[in-house]
Amino acid sequence: MNKSRQIALALALDIFSVLLFVAVGRRNHNESAGVSGVVEVALPFLIALICGWLVTRAWQKPYATKNGVVIWLITVVLGLLLRNLIFNRGTATPFIIVATLVLGVLLVGRRLIMRVI
Delimit the domains of the chain by residue range: 3-116
pTM higher than 0.75, yes or no? yes
For residue 33, what pLDDT is reported?
63
What is residue 99's three-state secondary structure? helix
What's the gap between Cα 78 and its chain centre? 11
For residue 79, what pLDDT is reported?
98
For residue 114, what pLDDT is reported?
83
For residue 26, what pLDDT is reported?
84
For residue 74, what pLDDT is reported?
98
What are 86-109's pLDDT values in tens digits?
998 988 999 999 999 999 999 999
- Nearest CA to 87 out of 16, 39, 25 is that of 39
What are 39-49's pLDDT values in tens digits?
889 999 999 99
Mean pLDDT of the chain, nearest integer = 92
Low-confidence stretches of the chain (pLDDT < 70) are 30, 33
